[in-house]
Structure 1
Amino acid sequence: MTEFTPSSAAEVPPPPVSREESPAALAPFAHVDTWVFDLDNTLYPAHSNLFGQIDVRIRDYVAKLLSLDHDVAQTIQKDYYHRYGTSLRGLMVEHGVSPDAFLEYVHDIDHSAIDPDPALGRAIERLPGRKFIMTNGTRRHAEKTAERLGITHHFDDIFDIVAMDLLPKPHRDSYDKFLALHAIVGGRAAMFEDLARNLAVPHALGMRTVLVVPQGTREVFRDAWELDGASQPHVEFVTDDLTAFLDRIETL
Protein backbone atom coordinates (compact mmCIF):
# COMPACT_ATOMS: atom_id res chain seq x y z
CA MET A 1 0.00 0.00 0.00
CA THR A 2 1.31 3.46 -0.88
CA GLU A 3 1.43 5.63 2.22
CA PHE A 4 2.04 9.02 0.64
CA THR A 5 0.75 10.56 -2.60
CA PRO A 6 2.67 13.79 -3.25
CA SER A 7 0.81 14.68 -6.46
CA SER A 8 -1.41 13.34 -9.16
CA ALA A 9 -0.39 12.81 -12.77
CA ALA A 10 -2.64 15.70 -13.85
CA GLU A 11 -0.65 18.26 -11.87
CA VAL A 12 2.44 20.00 -13.11
CA PRO A 13 4.61 21.36 -10.29
CA PRO A 14 6.20 24.78 -10.73
CA PRO A 15 9.76 24.81 -12.07
CA PRO A 16 12.59 24.67 -9.52
CA VAL A 17 13.70 28.01 -8.12
CA SER A 18 17.33 28.96 -7.62
CA ARG A 19 18.66 28.19 -4.16
CA GLU A 20 20.76 31.34 -4.16
CA GLU A 21 19.27 33.84 -1.72
CA SER A 22 19.85 36.85 -3.95
CA PRO A 23 17.06 39.40 -4.46
CA ALA A 24 16.42 38.03 -7.96
CA ALA A 25 16.21 34.44 -6.72
CA LEU A 26 13.86 35.43 -3.92
CA ALA A 27 11.54 37.31 -6.29
CA PRO A 28 8.85 34.53 -6.26
CA PHE A 29 8.16 35.37 -2.61
CA ALA A 30 6.93 38.83 -3.64
CA HIS A 31 3.61 37.22 -4.60
CA VAL A 32 3.20 35.26 -1.37
CA ASP A 33 0.39 36.31 0.95
CA THR A 34 0.14 33.14 3.09
CA TRP A 35 3.04 31.81 5.15
CA VAL A 36 2.91 28.28 6.58
CA PHE A 37 5.42 27.04 9.14
CA ASP A 38 6.07 23.61 10.53
CA LEU A 39 6.67 23.72 14.29
CA ASP A 40 9.20 21.24 15.69
CA ASN A 41 12.81 21.84 14.62
CA THR A 42 11.62 24.61 12.27
CA LEU A 43 10.39 27.52 14.39
CA TYR A 44 12.89 26.64 17.09
CA PRO A 45 16.42 25.21 16.71
CA ALA A 46 16.89 21.46 16.91
CA HIS A 47 19.73 21.87 19.40
CA SER A 48 17.21 23.09 22.00
CA ASN A 49 16.33 19.38 22.18
CA LEU A 50 12.63 20.01 22.80
CA PHE A 51 11.64 17.36 20.29
CA GLY A 52 14.21 15.09 21.92
CA GLN A 53 11.99 15.05 25.01
CA ILE A 54 9.02 14.00 22.88
CA ASP A 55 11.13 11.35 21.19
CA VAL A 56 12.02 9.78 24.54
CA ARG A 57 8.40 9.79 25.71
CA ILE A 58 7.25 8.12 22.50
CA ARG A 59 9.87 5.43 23.03
CA ASP A 60 8.71 4.90 26.60
CA TYR A 61 5.08 4.72 25.50
CA VAL A 62 5.87 2.08 22.87
CA ALA A 63 7.97 0.11 25.36
CA LYS A 64 5.16 0.00 27.91
CA LEU A 65 2.43 -0.67 25.36
CA LEU A 66 4.24 -3.58 23.72
CA SER A 67 6.19 -4.80 26.79
CA LEU A 68 9.55 -4.22 25.13
CA ASP A 69 12.91 -2.96 26.30
CA HIS A 70 13.81 0.58 25.29
CA ASP A 71 16.18 -0.32 22.46
CA VAL A 72 13.64 -2.51 20.67
CA ALA A 73 10.87 0.00 21.33
CA GLN A 74 12.92 2.78 19.79
CA THR A 75 13.61 0.71 16.67
CA ILE A 76 9.87 0.10 16.22
CA GLN A 77 9.08 3.75 16.96
CA LYS A 78 11.49 4.98 14.28
CA ASP A 79 10.23 2.44 11.77
CA TYR A 80 6.64 3.62 12.25
CA TYR A 81 7.70 7.25 12.05
CA HIS A 82 9.51 6.61 8.77
CA ARG A 83 6.76 4.53 7.17
CA TYR A 84 3.63 6.27 8.43
CA GLY A 85 4.66 9.92 8.93
CA THR A 86 4.26 9.74 12.72
CA SER A 87 4.82 7.01 15.28
CA LEU A 88 1.20 7.51 16.36
CA ARG A 89 -0.12 6.69 12.90
CA GLY A 90 1.90 3.48 12.92
CA LEU A 91 0.61 2.53 16.35
CA MET A 92 -2.96 3.20 15.24
CA VAL A 93 -2.62 1.11 12.08
CA GLU A 94 -0.56 -1.72 13.54
CA HIS A 95 -1.98 -1.91 17.09
CA GLY A 96 -5.26 0.01 17.15
CA VAL A 97 -3.95 2.56 19.63
CA SER A 98 -6.38 5.30 20.68
CA PRO A 99 -4.73 8.66 19.96
CA ASP A 100 -5.89 10.78 22.91
CA ALA A 101 -3.86 9.14 25.67
CA PHE A 102 -0.81 8.91 23.40
CA LEU A 103 -0.88 12.59 22.44
CA GLU A 104 -1.38 13.73 26.01
CA TYR A 105 1.48 11.57 27.27
CA VAL A 106 4.13 12.31 24.65
CA HIS A 107 3.60 16.10 24.71
CA ASP A 108 3.81 16.33 28.50
CA ILE A 109 7.28 17.87 28.38
CA ASP A 110 9.28 20.78 29.77
CA HIS A 111 8.83 23.65 27.29
CA SER A 112 11.22 25.87 29.26
CA ALA A 113 14.00 24.46 27.08
CA ILE A 114 12.82 27.00 24.48
CA ASP A 115 14.10 30.56 24.81
CA PRO A 116 12.22 33.63 23.58
CA ASP A 117 13.21 34.64 20.05
CA PRO A 118 12.26 38.29 19.53
CA ALA A 119 14.21 38.50 16.26
CA LEU A 120 12.15 35.65 14.80
CA GLY A 121 8.99 37.30 16.09
CA ARG A 122 9.84 40.58 14.33
CA ALA A 123 10.66 38.74 11.10
CA ILE A 124 7.34 36.87 11.14
CA GLU A 125 5.39 40.00 12.05
CA ARG A 126 6.77 41.87 9.03
CA LEU A 127 5.66 39.20 6.55
CA PRO A 128 2.67 40.44 4.51
CA GLY A 129 -0.57 38.50 4.79
CA ARG A 130 -1.63 35.53 6.90
CA LYS A 131 0.59 33.17 8.90
CA PHE A 132 -0.14 29.62 10.05
CA ILE A 133 1.50 26.78 11.94
CA MET A 134 0.92 23.34 10.41
CA THR A 135 2.21 20.60 12.69
CA ASN A 136 2.04 16.85 13.18
CA GLY A 137 1.97 17.63 16.91
CA THR A 138 -0.92 18.89 18.98
CA ARG A 139 -2.36 22.40 19.19
CA ARG A 140 -1.54 22.52 22.91
CA HIS A 141 2.10 21.66 22.25
CA ALA A 142 2.26 24.26 19.47
CA GLU A 143 0.67 26.92 21.66
CA LYS A 144 3.09 26.27 24.51
CA THR A 145 6.08 26.32 22.16
CA ALA A 146 4.95 29.49 20.38
CA GLU A 147 4.30 31.12 23.73
CA ARG A 148 7.84 30.36 24.89
CA LEU A 149 9.20 31.80 21.62
CA GLY A 150 7.01 34.87 22.04
CA ILE A 151 5.39 34.51 18.61
CA THR A 152 1.86 33.26 19.36
CA HIS A 153 0.11 36.49 18.42
CA HIS A 154 1.62 36.55 14.93
CA PHE A 155 -0.32 33.50 13.74
CA ASP A 156 -3.87 33.31 12.40
CA ASP A 157 -4.33 29.65 13.33
CA ILE A 158 -2.65 26.36 14.19
CA PHE A 159 -3.52 23.32 12.08
CA ASP A 160 -2.53 20.30 14.18
CA ILE A 161 -2.63 16.51 13.94
CA VAL A 162 -6.20 16.42 15.27
CA ALA A 163 -7.35 18.89 12.60
CA MET A 164 -5.67 16.57 10.09
CA ASP A 165 -7.94 13.74 11.27
CA LEU A 166 -4.73 12.11 12.55
CA LEU A 167 -3.41 11.72 8.99
CA PRO A 168 -0.01 13.41 9.24
CA LYS A 169 2.17 15.23 6.79
CA PRO A 170 3.22 14.24 4.15
CA HIS A 171 -0.21 12.78 3.29
CA ARG A 172 -1.86 14.79 0.53
CA ASP A 173 -5.34 14.78 2.11
CA SER A 174 -4.13 16.78 5.11
CA TYR A 175 -2.65 19.55 2.97
CA ASP A 176 -5.81 19.68 0.86
CA LYS A 177 -7.94 19.99 3.98
CA PHE A 178 -5.73 22.75 5.38
CA LEU A 179 -5.79 24.81 2.18
CA ALA A 180 -9.54 24.37 1.76
CA LEU A 181 -10.28 25.31 5.39
CA HIS A 182 -8.45 28.63 5.09
CA ALA A 183 -9.11 29.32 1.38
CA ILE A 184 -5.37 29.28 0.67
CA VAL A 185 -4.22 29.56 -2.95
CA GLY A 186 -1.16 27.36 -3.41
CA GLY A 187 0.52 29.71 -5.88
CA ARG A 188 0.39 32.53 -3.31
CA ALA A 189 1.68 30.53 -0.33
CA ALA A 190 5.03 29.42 1.09
CA MET A 191 5.87 26.42 3.28
CA PHE A 192 8.78 26.16 5.73
CA GLU A 193 9.76 22.67 6.93
CA ASP A 194 12.65 20.75 8.46
CA LEU A 195 11.79 17.52 6.57
CA ALA A 196 12.27 17.55 2.80
CA ARG A 197 9.63 14.89 2.21
CA ASN A 198 6.99 17.13 3.77
CA LEU A 199 7.62 19.70 1.03
CA ALA A 200 6.73 17.44 -1.91
CA VAL A 201 2.98 18.06 -1.72
CA PRO A 202 3.28 21.83 -1.09
CA HIS A 203 5.52 22.09 -4.16
CA ALA A 204 3.01 20.14 -6.25
CA LEU A 205 0.33 22.57 -5.05
CA GLY A 206 2.36 25.51 -6.33
CA MET A 207 3.70 26.72 -2.99
CA ARG A 208 7.18 28.12 -2.53
CA THR A 209 9.13 25.59 -0.45
CA VAL A 210 11.92 26.22 2.06
CA LEU A 211 13.85 23.52 3.93
CA VAL A 212 15.11 24.72 7.31
CA VAL A 213 18.21 22.83 8.46
CA PRO A 214 20.01 24.73 11.24
CA GLN A 215 23.60 23.93 12.07
CA GLY A 216 23.89 21.04 14.53
CA THR A 217 20.69 19.38 13.30
CA ARG A 218 22.27 15.99 12.65
CA GLU A 219 23.61 15.71 16.17
CA VAL A 220 20.23 16.06 17.90
CA PHE A 221 17.80 13.14 17.66
CA ARG A 222 17.78 13.01 13.86
CA ASP A 223 17.93 9.89 11.72
CA ALA A 224 19.87 9.99 8.46
CA TRP A 225 16.70 9.73 6.33
CA GLU A 226 15.26 12.86 8.01
CA LEU A 227 18.08 14.92 6.53
CA ASP A 228 17.82 13.45 3.01
CA GLY A 229 16.18 15.10 0.05
CA ALA A 230 17.57 18.63 0.22
CA SER A 231 18.69 18.37 -3.41
CA GLN A 232 15.30 17.24 -4.73
CA PRO A 233 13.41 19.58 -7.11
CA HIS A 234 10.53 20.00 -4.65
CA VAL A 235 12.92 21.75 -2.26
CA GLU A 236 13.34 25.19 -3.78
CA PHE A 237 15.33 26.85 -1.02
CA VAL A 238 17.50 25.58 1.83
CA THR A 239 18.46 27.76 4.79
CA ASP A 240 20.28 27.22 8.06
CA ASP A 241 18.87 30.45 9.54
CA LEU A 242 15.10 30.96 9.32
CA THR A 243 15.14 34.48 10.78
CA ALA A 244 17.82 35.71 8.39
CA PHE A 245 16.00 34.12 5.45
CA LEU A 246 12.74 35.87 6.36
CA ASP A 247 14.62 39.15 6.77
CA ARG A 248 15.94 38.82 3.21
CA ILE A 249 12.44 38.14 1.89
CA GLU A 250 11.17 41.29 3.58
CA THR A 251 13.63 43.45 1.61
CA LEU A 252 11.90 42.59 -1.69
Structure 2
Amino acid sequence: MTIDLRHVDTWLFDLDNTLYPAETGFMRQVEARMTEFVIRVTGLARPEAYALQKKYLAEHGLTLGGLIAHHGVDPADFHAMFHDLSLDALAHDPELVAGLERLPGRRLIFTNADAIHAERVMAHLGLSHLFDEVFHIHSFGFAPKPSAEGFERMVAEHGVDPAATAFFEDSERNLAPAAGLGMTTVLVGAHAPGSAAPFVHHKTEKLAPFLASASLKETAR
Protein backbone atom coordinates (compact mmCIF):
# COMPACT_ATOMS: atom_id res chain seq x y z
CA MET A 1 0.00 0.00 0.00
CA THR A 2 1.32 3.45 -0.94
CA ILE A 3 2.07 5.76 1.97
CA ASP A 4 0.65 9.09 0.83
CA LEU A 5 2.41 11.97 2.59
CA ARG A 6 2.16 14.46 -0.27
CA HIS A 7 0.36 16.92 2.01
CA VAL A 8 3.29 17.12 4.45
CA ASP A 9 5.91 19.89 4.48
CA THR A 10 6.87 19.80 8.19
CA TRP A 11 8.47 16.62 9.51
CA LEU A 12 8.43 16.33 13.30
CA PHE A 13 10.48 13.57 14.93
CA ASP A 14 10.90 12.30 18.44
CA LEU A 15 14.56 11.51 19.16
CA ASP A 16 15.22 8.56 21.47
CA ASN A 17 14.02 5.14 20.27
CA THR A 18 12.69 6.81 17.11
CA LEU A 19 15.74 8.03 15.18
CA TYR A 20 17.53 4.88 16.31
CA PRO A 21 16.00 1.48 17.16
CA ALA A 22 14.96 0.72 20.71
CA GLU A 23 16.78 -2.57 20.28
CA THR A 24 20.11 -0.78 20.71
CA GLY A 25 19.45 -0.80 24.45
CA PHE A 26 20.73 2.76 24.77
CA MET A 27 17.74 3.89 26.78
CA ARG A 28 18.49 1.25 29.40
CA GLN A 29 21.56 3.31 30.26
CA VAL A 30 19.37 6.39 30.60
CA GLU A 31 16.88 4.55 32.81
CA ALA A 32 19.63 3.17 35.07
CA ARG A 33 21.14 6.64 35.56
CA MET A 34 17.69 7.95 36.36
CA THR A 35 17.19 5.34 39.05
CA GLU A 36 20.53 6.25 40.61
CA PHE A 37 19.45 9.88 40.69
CA VAL A 38 16.16 9.04 42.40
CA ILE A 39 18.07 6.98 44.99
CA ARG A 40 20.38 9.93 45.65
CA VAL A 41 17.53 12.41 46.01
CA THR A 42 15.15 10.28 48.07
CA GLY A 43 17.39 7.83 49.93
CA LEU A 44 15.11 4.98 48.87
CA ALA A 45 16.37 1.47 48.17
CA ARG A 46 16.66 0.63 44.46
CA PRO A 47 13.32 -1.23 44.07
CA GLU A 48 11.37 1.56 45.75
CA ALA A 49 13.29 4.23 43.83
CA TYR A 50 12.54 2.49 40.53
CA ALA A 51 8.84 2.23 41.42
CA LEU A 52 8.76 5.95 42.28
CA GLN A 53 10.55 6.76 39.04
CA LYS A 54 7.83 4.97 37.05
CA LYS A 55 5.08 6.54 39.15
CA TYR A 56 6.34 10.04 38.37
CA LEU A 57 6.64 9.12 34.69
CA ALA A 58 3.00 8.02 34.60
CA GLU A 59 1.72 11.01 36.57
CA HIS A 60 3.84 13.81 35.12
CA GLY A 61 4.79 12.62 31.64
CA LEU A 62 8.42 12.24 32.69
CA THR A 63 10.25 11.36 35.89
CA LEU A 64 11.78 14.84 36.08
CA GLY A 65 8.32 16.39 36.46
CA GLY A 66 7.74 14.50 39.70
CA LEU A 67 11.23 15.23 40.97
CA ILE A 68 10.70 18.96 40.40
CA ALA A 69 7.22 18.99 41.94
CA HIS A 70 7.94 16.86 45.00
CA HIS A 71 11.69 17.20 45.64
CA GLY A 72 12.66 20.61 44.26
CA VAL A 73 15.19 19.11 41.84
CA ASP A 74 17.09 21.50 39.56
CA PRO A 75 16.46 20.34 35.97
CA ALA A 76 20.02 21.24 34.99
CA ASP A 77 21.39 18.86 37.65
CA PHE A 78 19.08 16.11 36.46
CA HIS A 79 20.03 16.42 32.79
CA ALA A 80 23.74 16.72 33.50
CA MET A 81 23.91 13.06 34.52
CA PHE A 82 23.20 11.99 30.93
CA HIS A 83 25.83 14.16 29.25
CA ASP A 84 28.66 11.64 29.54
CA LEU A 85 26.69 8.53 28.57
CA SER A 86 28.50 6.28 26.11
CA LEU A 87 26.95 6.49 22.63
CA ASP A 88 28.73 3.37 21.38
CA ALA A 89 25.45 1.44 21.11
CA LEU A 90 24.18 3.89 18.48
CA ALA A 91 25.22 3.35 14.87
CA HIS A 92 25.19 5.59 11.80
CA ASP A 93 22.46 4.43 9.39
CA PRO A 94 23.03 5.51 5.75
CA GLU A 95 19.54 4.31 4.79
CA LEU A 96 17.98 6.58 7.42
CA VAL A 97 20.10 9.52 6.27
CA ALA A 98 18.91 8.97 2.70
CA GLY A 99 15.29 8.71 3.83
CA LEU A 100 15.49 11.96 5.79
CA GLU A 101 17.28 13.76 2.97
CA ARG A 102 14.41 13.17 0.55
CA LEU A 103 11.81 14.82 2.79
CA PRO A 104 10.63 18.19 1.40
CA GLY A 105 10.24 21.10 3.79
CA ARG A 106 11.32 21.49 7.41
CA ARG A 107 12.57 18.75 9.71
CA LEU A 108 12.26 19.33 13.46
CA ILE A 109 13.10 17.36 16.60
CA PHE A 110 10.55 17.32 19.44
CA THR A 111 12.06 15.63 22.48
CA ASN A 112 11.55 15.39 26.23
CA ALA A 113 15.36 15.33 26.58
CA ASP A 114 17.48 18.46 26.91
CA ALA A 115 19.45 20.25 24.20
CA ILE A 116 22.86 18.77 25.07
CA HIS A 117 21.60 15.20 24.99
CA ALA A 118 19.81 15.82 21.70
CA GLU A 119 22.88 17.42 20.12
CA ARG A 120 25.19 14.58 21.27
CA VAL A 121 22.91 11.85 19.92
CA MET A 122 22.20 13.59 16.62
CA ALA A 123 25.89 14.31 16.03
CA HIS A 124 26.85 10.71 16.80
CA LEU A 125 24.21 9.44 14.36
CA GLY A 126 25.36 11.90 11.70
CA LEU A 127 21.95 13.59 11.54
CA SER A 128 22.60 17.11 12.85
CA HIS A 129 22.78 18.72 9.40
CA LEU A 130 19.38 17.30 8.44
CA PHE A 131 17.32 19.13 11.07
CA ASP A 132 16.37 22.79 11.25
CA GLU A 133 15.58 23.04 14.96
CA VAL A 134 15.43 21.04 18.19
CA PHE A 135 12.42 21.71 20.40
CA HIS A 136 13.60 20.24 23.71
CA ILE A 137 12.28 20.04 27.28
CA HIS A 138 13.61 23.48 28.22
CA SER A 139 11.99 25.00 25.10
CA PHE A 140 8.50 24.09 26.22
CA GLY A 141 8.87 24.94 29.88
CA PHE A 142 8.88 21.37 31.22
CA ALA A 143 5.41 20.64 29.85
CA PRO A 144 6.49 17.31 28.35
CA LYS A 145 4.85 15.15 25.74
CA PRO A 146 2.07 14.06 25.90
CA SER A 147 1.04 17.37 27.50
CA ALA A 148 -1.14 19.40 25.14
CA GLU A 149 0.61 22.52 26.43
CA GLY A 150 3.97 21.32 25.12
CA PHE A 151 2.51 20.69 21.67
CA GLU A 152 0.81 24.07 21.61
CA ARG A 153 4.07 25.84 22.50
CA MET A 154 5.95 23.95 19.80
CA VAL A 155 3.33 24.78 17.18
CA ALA A 156 3.34 28.47 18.15
CA GLU A 157 7.13 28.85 18.36
CA HIS A 158 7.82 27.24 15.00
CA GLY A 159 4.72 28.36 13.11
CA VAL A 160 3.73 24.76 12.48
CA ASP A 161 0.62 23.99 10.43
CA PRO A 162 -0.62 20.73 11.98
CA ALA A 163 -2.53 19.77 8.84
CA ALA A 164 0.75 19.76 6.89
CA THR A 165 2.80 18.03 9.60
CA ALA A 166 3.76 14.40 10.15
CA PHE A 167 4.86 13.37 13.65
CA PHE A 168 7.00 10.27 14.20
CA GLU A 169 7.12 8.74 17.70
CA ASP A 170 7.89 5.45 19.44
CA SER A 171 5.44 6.25 22.27
CA GLU A 172 1.82 5.66 21.31
CA ARG A 173 0.39 7.99 23.94
CA ASN A 174 2.49 10.90 22.65
CA LEU A 175 0.72 10.67 19.28
CA ALA A 176 -2.75 11.35 20.71
CA PRO A 177 -2.35 15.14 21.17
CA ALA A 178 -0.65 15.42 17.79
CA ALA A 179 -3.60 13.73 16.09
CA GLY A 180 -5.95 15.95 18.08
CA LEU A 181 -4.26 18.99 16.54
CA GLY A 182 -4.66 17.54 13.05
CA MET A 183 -1.19 16.10 12.48
CA THR A 184 -0.54 12.87 10.60
CA THR A 185 0.90 10.42 13.12
CA VAL A 186 3.40 7.59 12.63
CA LEU A 187 4.14 5.05 15.37
CA VAL A 188 7.68 3.68 15.08
CA GLY A 189 9.17 0.50 16.53
CA ALA A 190 8.78 -3.25 16.81
CA HIS A 191 5.61 -2.74 18.86
CA ALA A 192 3.95 -0.50 16.26
CA PRO A 193 2.11 -3.14 14.19
CA GLY A 194 0.18 -4.20 17.29
CA SER A 195 -1.29 -0.76 17.93
CA ALA A 196 -5.04 -0.38 17.50
CA ALA A 197 -5.23 3.25 18.63
CA PRO A 198 -7.48 5.30 16.33
CA PHE A 199 -5.11 8.30 16.54
CA VAL A 200 -2.23 6.29 15.01
CA HIS A 201 -2.47 6.84 11.26
CA HIS A 202 0.60 4.89 10.13
CA LYS A 203 2.67 2.16 11.77
CA THR A 204 6.17 1.00 10.92
CA GLU A 205 8.68 -1.25 12.64
CA LYS A 206 11.59 0.49 10.91
CA LEU A 207 11.76 4.19 10.12
CA ALA A 208 14.17 4.23 7.16
CA PRO A 209 12.15 1.98 4.79
CA PHE A 210 8.99 3.89 5.65
CA LEU A 211 10.59 7.20 4.66
CA ALA A 212 12.07 5.69 1.51
CA SER A 213 8.71 4.37 0.26
CA ALA A 214 6.43 7.32 1.12
CA SER A 215 4.91 9.45 -1.64
CA LEU A 216 6.04 13.04 -1.12
CA LYS A 217 5.47 16.49 -2.55
CA GLU A 218 7.13 17.00 -5.91
CA THR A 219 9.25 19.92 -4.74
CA ALA A 220 12.11 18.88 -2.47
CA ARG A 221 14.62 21.18 -0.85
The alignment status of 1:33 with 2:33, answered yes or no, reads no
Instruction: Pick one of 57, 62, 81 that aligns with 2:38.
Output: 62
- After superposition, the CA RMSD in angstroms is 1.7
Cross-structure match for 1:231: 196
Rounded to whole Å, the distance in 1 between the matches of 2:195 and 2:131 is 27
**What secondary structure, in the 3-state scheme, does the structure 2 residue paired with 1:72 have?**
helix
Report the CA distance between 1:108 and its aligned residue: 3.1
Report the CA distance between 1:107 and its aligned residue: 4.0
Instruction: Pick one of 14, 35, 56 that aligns with 1:80.
Output: 56
Q: Percent identity?
A: 39
Cross-structure match for 1:241: 206
Cross-structure match for 1:190: 166
The alignment status of 1:163 with 2:133, answered yes or no, reads no
Which structure 2 residues correspond to residues 86-105 of structure 1 after superposition, within 5 A? 86-105=62-81
Cross-structure match for 1:5: none
Report the CA distance between 1:160 and its aligned residue: 0.4
Cα offsets for 1:198-236 (capped at 9, x unmatched)? 00111011110000013xx6xxxxxxxxx8x92111111
Cross-structure match for 2:27: 51
Q: Which amino acid aligns with 1:60?
A: E
Cross-structure match for 1:119: 95
Instruction: Pick one of 161, 165, 174 that aligns with 2:150.
Output: 174
List alignment gaps of at least 5 residues for structure 2.
Answer: none
* Contact 1:118/1:150 (8 A) holds in 2: no
Q: Which amino acid aligns with 1:45?
A: P
Aligned pairs, how many? 217
Rounded to whole Å, the distance in 2 between the matches of 1:124 and 1:203 is 22
* Contact 2:6/2:216 (8 A) holds in 1: no
Cα offsets for 1:77-109 (capped at 9, x unmatched)? 011111111100011112221211011113431
Rounded to whole Å, the distance in 2 between the matches of 1:153 and 1:233 is 34
Which structure 2 residues correspond to residues 193-208 of structure 1 after superposition, within 5 A? 193-208=169-184
> Which runs of at least 4 in structure 1 moved beyond 4 Å after TM superposition?
none
Rounded to whole Å, the distance in 1 between the matches of 2:211 and 2:76 is 35
Q: TM-score, normalised by structure 2?
A: 0.94
Q: Which amino acid aligns with 2:152?
A: D
